[in-house]
Chains A and B, each alone.
Chain A
Amino acid sequence: GAVVSQHPSWVICKSGTSVKIECRSLDFQATTMFWYRQFPKQSLMLMATSNEGSKATYEQGVEKDKFLINHASLTLSTLTVTSAHPEDSSFYICSAPGQPPLNLAKNIQYFGAGTRLSVL
């Protein structure tokens, strides 16, 4: 089946530093990827839609200058949390929709394992 790899799985950083999270589709191409954030005991919240070769689309209330998204290839999207602060501590998850020609269900979202960010 389709695999979405997310790296790192856990990162601890000092306040004010930037953290980059990678999301890779390992056996299929993803022209679109989604980035979510999840706080404890809350549902996933869509932050932005990453589009290969063009600018990301951010959800209302998400600061595009703080959460930089780069979708440089058909298999890689990155989320950079710039000047991270303790309130940015959260669980970040990426997903990619299944696309043909690998007979993946087009409506299925394949999720990475998530990245737990702790900002001290």
Chain B
Amino acid sequence: KNQVEQSPQSLIILEGKNCTLQCNYTVSPFSNLRWYKQDTGRGPVSLTIMTFSENTKSNGRYTATLDADTKQSSLHITASQLSDSASYICVVSFNAGNNRKLIWGLGTSLAVNP
């Protein structure tokens, strides 16, 4: 069964600290993995997208890693800011016949406190 599991479910950190969010998946055949940031009541915003051959990709203070062998990904946030408070969602894309499907994780709710 194609699944995407994220941990932790929620996380509270102090401003300026670093944190790492985890994403494990059992999706096949794998196409790509994306991390989105979703502010409360808003649509998701793409942070990174990684294909099978990519191990690391950065976007400012966000760094995503992908281990396609163990089917694990992480999103590392450096020097957190109050505006980083949001839900971070891991999405894995796979090919289903002629279509490409997305499997969404439930997200990690991050709260950055002053």
- Complex Cα distance, B32 from A109, in Å, reads 13
- Of A43, A108, A112, the contact of B43 (CB 8 Å cutoff): A112
Contact A114 B41 (CB under 8 A): yes
Q: Say yes or no: B107 contacts A43, CB within 8 Å.
A: yes
Q: Are A111 and B45 in contact (CB under 8 A)?
A: yes
Contact sample, A vs B, 10 pairs, CB 8 Å cutoff: A42-B106, A46-B102, A91-B41, A95-B43, A107-B32, A109-B34, A111-B43, A111-B44, A113-B43, A116-B41
- B45, closest chain A residue (CB): A111
In the assembled complex, which residues on chain A have CB atoms less than 8 Å from the CB atom of B46? 108-110
Alpha-carbon separation in the docked complex, A6 to B45 (Å): 14
Q: Which residues of B contact A (CB under 8 A)?
A: 32, 34, 41-46, 49, 89, 93, 101-102, 104-107
Chain B contacts of A46 at CB under 8 A? 101-102
Check B43–A114 contact: CB distance below 8 A: yes
Is A62 an interface residue, CB under 8 A from the partner? no
In chain A, positions 94-115 with a C-beta closer than 8 Å to chain B are 95, 105, 107-114
Q: Which residues from B are CB-within-8-Å of A112?
A: 43
By size class, the interface of chain A is 20 to 34
B41 touches A43 (CB 8 A): no
Question: Closest residue to A57 on the B side, CB-wise?
Answer: B99
- For A110, what are the chain B residues with a Cβ–Cβ distance below 8 Å? 46
**Taking the nearest CB of chain A, how far is it from the CB of B21, in angstroms?**
14
Q: Do residues B106 and A107 form an inter-chain contact, with CB atoms below 8 A?
A: no
A72 in the interface (beta carbon within 8 A): no
In the complex the two chains form, is B43's CB within 8 Å of A6's CB? yes
Judge whether B45 and A43 touch: CB under 8 Å. no
The answer to whether B42 touches A114, judged by C-beta atoms less than 8 angstroms apart, is yes
A26 at the interface (CB under 8 A from B): no
